[in-house]
Structure 1
Amino acid sequence: MFETLTDSFTSAIKKIRFHDDEKALKKALDELKKSLLKADVHHSVVRSLIAEVEHKTKMAGIGKDQFLSAMQESLNAILDVKGNRGFVFAPNPPTVILMTGLQGSGKTTTTGKLATYLKEQKKKKVLIIAADLQRLAAVEQLRQITQKIEVDLFEDEQGEPVSVVKAGLEKARASLYDVVLIDTAGRLAIDEALMGELKAVRDVANPAEIFYVADSMTGQDAVRTATSFKEQIGIDGVILSKYDGDSKGGVALGIASQVEVPLRFIGSGEKMEDLEVFLPERIVNRLMGFGDIEGLAERTANVIDEKKAKELSKKIKKGKFNFNDFLEQMESMKKMGSMKSIMGMIPGMGDVSKALKDFDMENSKEIRQIKAMVSSMTPKEREDPDLLNNSRKMRIAAGCGMSQMEVNRVLKQFKNAAKMAKRFSGKKGMQDLQAMMGQMKGGGFPR
């Protein structure tokens, strides 16, 4: 996500070459204008943003740093809409959230992602109510999602949306749930029947907040439909779904400036863990190619147990990293979300993030092979890879459907990785790593 906008800003900044050069500023502003329009940002927003950047840059004195600062300030001003950020809990539980959106916007999947976020990161007891009784298989989709993320579902396919919501809320209060997410019906387009049903559900649910799920891929259409929902139903926040698939990224600027409702979350990948809180200052940093180290640190802290991390560090230093440790780290990485979204949060790693666009760590051939191989090992073999002699390797190869040569190759890679981790875990580890990276940039590679 943000690829087009980030590339655009980088290109515009390069146009500023000399201090106090009006011609260079004009070139940069022209580049920025074209890029914003190309990224599907509304022309009125573009016009306002360009004028603001130009004014601030001239006031500070034309130069790259001043231009950069002006862009950051202006983007922050657009995205920082007055209202709540992230998820806000009601004073008295359960916090009831009405999830709305058009059919195909990713509303049901986003409901599952939000439930995952609340369960895993906020440690809350969540109930999802299936109130979309219009779309075929909508309840079945929620059933599969809730089973996968281990969250409770209230359903009654024979009932009416209003009665289902009433009964679901009674259960939530009786069973002391912290949060209730109501998945409502959508349509391919806004119509009276849809709005009438949503208003009836809203009135009986009396939600703390109403979230509108907007499909990022629809660009300006997402802005128009969000505006219509705001006027007819009333919405307190927007969640941008499929944002990882929208390299343009302009829809975020459009919704913030035109709909004037705060963006609360963005879908950053296909996994249930790929939902991020929308914090304007951090998003602007990523738009500018500066990454989001704070966001990465928070995401890491949520999935990594500090005590286990210290134990693992000791094992690595002693060269005792084993296959049980490997599987445990794989599970932690899964909870952090897609590799693309993780790399996009590291400053200067934008190009690597693009290269990982289609990479799925969990389902890659190599990872599947390692998991199959480890599953064919005995508990002792997982704990101590040094036990693996030829006869054991033959048994493992037969058990996981790999050749013994492939098993040997994976084991060799694993041992090399463990040795490298041990080497870099020492006092001079970072210096060694930097030296190695320098050699790689120079065309060489340590043997």
Structure 2
Amino acid sequence: MFDTLGSGFRTVLNKIRFSDDSKALDKALDELKKTLLKNDVYHKTTKEILSQTKDYFKTNPIGKENFLKALSLSLESILKTNLNYGFSYSSVPPTCVLMTGLQGSGKTTTSAKLALYLKGKNKKVLLVPCDLQRLAAVTQLKTLGESIEVDVFNSESKKPLEVAKEALKLGKNYDVLIFDTAGRLAIDEALMDELDSIKKLVKPHDIFYVADSLSGQDGVRSADTFNQKVGITGVILTKFDSDSKGGIALSIAYQIGVPLRFIGVGEKLPDLEVFLPDRIISRLMGAGDIQTLAEKTASVMSDKEVKDIQKKIKKGNFTIEDFIAQIENVKKIGSMSSIMGMIPGLGNVASGLKNMDFDNSEEIKNIKCMVNSMTKKERLDPSILNGSRRKRIAKGSGLEVSDINRALKQFDMAAKMAKQFSGKKGASDFMSMLGQMKAQKR
């Protein structure tokens, strides 16, 4: 997420590393301008960021640390349209939400992601399929709903307004109703009329516009049109795990004055994050986002697991059983690229892992087959795996000895990384934070 933009910012900082004069500042600002425009940041947004960054040095000395602080403050100013981030609830349940956007933006999948996010907050959610224009939309929503065990409203009606009306009658039994409305390949009057009718009927607490992060300035213009026609209260950006340049995130908040509420950071349904400017800026600057990672991890790990891992991180111990257990936990948290982007210093590794799929990866399947053919003693101490043991494991798992050797090599690398990470302040802070979160939940 924000790979090219974050990389560009780090390049800018290097321009001022060894100098503290006005000439170095001008070079850094020029490089910053190029980086922002290259990453699809709107020219007026770029101008504002440059102006605020430069103004900081009217009262502060020039230097790398101050440039980092000045840039962070200007980005905060751009992104903080108001304090309404994430999900908010109406005072009288159920909370009704309209999901709007153009066809292909990921609106239906995002509806399911949002439902899963709310389910994790112990909310009872009903997904309402009002997209009757796209033939597969209703089926897709039902399939997604089943996969996360969230109810999907079923209606025989062929009219979106009727479906919405029927769902409202059932709505008193739920905390949140999410209406997945129809999109088009382009904005047209029919689409807006339909949305306006549903809006008047449902009286939604929030209207989210789902924008494809690859759409650049076109996405900003479309969001602005939806805002003018039906009024939107927030934007959800999808596909931030792709080759998105990231500029739309800075531009959309500044240009239309509507807050980014969530971002989709992967294809998996757990890959939805609340857009919190402070944390996003931290990732952009390469400082990671331990707070979000701890929150996600705390939701899928038991108290015992947290305590056990705390002990093992301190000792630098890491067994094959730990390896498999953490793979299972990671699957619940989200995509590998989104996780790596939250760890300080590892953001640049994330792009290389964006296509890693823990469910379908051949390597992960081989590792699981290998572990299932190992004895308890072998799992706890892989160093005893000599040639004959490896042959036995290969035969029992249906793999080649070369597959076993490769899997063990991957485990060794993971074990070394865990040992190195155990001595870093980031790991200590993370585990301490995780322990506190689990204690607060009791």
- Fold conserved (TM > 0.5)? yes
Instruction: Name the residue aligned to 1:329.
Output: 326
Instruction: Name the residue aligned to 2:264.
Output: 267
Deviation of the 1:307 alpha carbon: 2.5
Deviation of the 1:393 alpha carbon: 8.5
Alignment check: 8 A CA contact 1:216 1:246 kept:
no
Cα deviations by residue, 1:365-402 (Å, 9 ceiling, x for unpaired): 22111334556789x8999999x999999897567532
Instruction: Name the residue aligned to 2:440.
Output: none
Deviation of the 1:30 alpha carbon: 0.8
Query: Is 1:124 aligned to 2:123, yes or no?
Result: yes
Instruction: Name the residue aligned to 1:41.
Output: 41
Instruction: Name the residue aligned to 1:156.
Output: 155
Which consecutive residues of structure 2, in runs of 5 or more, have no partner in the other structure? Answer: 428-442
Alignment check: 8 A CA contact 1:133 1:157 kept:
no
Query: Is 1:115 aligned to 2:115, yes or no?
Result: yes
Letter in 1 for 2:332: K
After TM superposition, list the pairs within 5 Å mapping 1:392-407 onto structure 2: 400-403=397-400, 405=401
Deviation of the 1:410 alpha carbon: 7.3
Query: Is 1:356 aligned to 2:353, yes or no?
Result: yes
Closer, same or farther: CA 367–100 of 1 in aligned 2, 3 Å: same
Instruction: Name the residue aligned to 2:76.
Output: 76
Letter in 2 for 1:188: L
Q: Secondary structure at 2:123's aligned position in 1?
A: coil
Deviation of the 1:158 alpha carbon: 3.7
After TM superposition, list the pairs within 5 Å mapping 1:406-417 onto structure 2: 409=405
Closer, same or farther: CA 416–15 of 1 in aligned 2, 3 Å: closer
Letter in 1 for 2:260: L
Closer, same or farther: CA 217–394 of 1 in aligned 2, 3 Å: same
Query: Is 1:25 aligned to 2:25, yes or no?
Result: yes
Instruction: Name the residue aligned to 2:234.
Output: 237
CA distance in structure 2 between the aligned counterparts of 1:401 and 1:29, rounded to whole angstroms: 58
After TM superposition, list the pairs within 5 Å mapping 1:160-309 onto structure 2: 160-173=159-172, 176-309=173-306
Instruction: Name the residue aligned to 2:60.
Output: 60
Alignment check: 8 A CA contact 2:106 2:210 kept:
yes
Alignment check: 8 A CA contact 2:102 2:185 kept:
yes
Alignment check: 8 A CA contact 2:41 2:248 kept:
yes
Cα deviations by residue, 1:28-60 (Å, 9 ceiling, x for unpaired): 111111111110011111112111111112321
Letter in 2 for 1:350: G
Q: Radius of gyration: which is bigger?
A: 1
Cα deviations by residue, 1:135-192 (Å, 9 ceiling, x for unpaired): 121111111111111111113254311111111122221xx21111110000001100
Instruction: Name the residue aligned to 2:50.
Output: 50
Deviation of the 1:308 alpha carbon: 3.4
Q: Secondary structure at 1:225's aligned position in 2?
A: helix
Further displaced range: 17-26 or 81-90: 17-26
CA distance in structure 1 between the aligned counterparts of 2:293 and 2:24, rounded to whole angstroms: 36
Deviation of the 1:361 alpha carbon: 3.2
Alignment check: 8 A CA contact 1:312 1:321 kept:
no
CA distance in structure 2 between the aligned counterparts of 1:291 and 1:424, rounded to whole angstroms: 19
Q: Secondary structure at 1:69's aligned position in 2?
A: helix
Which consecutive residues of structure 1, in runs of 5 or more, have no partner in the other structure? Answer: 435-447
TM-score by length of 2: 0.85
Deviation of the 1:309 alpha carbon: 3.2
Instruction: Name the residue aligned to 2:87.
Output: 87
Letter in 2 for 1:169: L
Closer, same or farther: CA 397–150 of 1 in aligned 2, 3 Å: farther
Closer, same or farther: CA 377–184 of 1 in aligned 2, 3 Å: farther
CA RMSD of aligned residues (A): 3.4
Alignment check: 8 A CA contact 2:157 2:163 kept:
no
Closer, same or farther: CA 38–94 of 1 in aligned 2, 3 Å: same
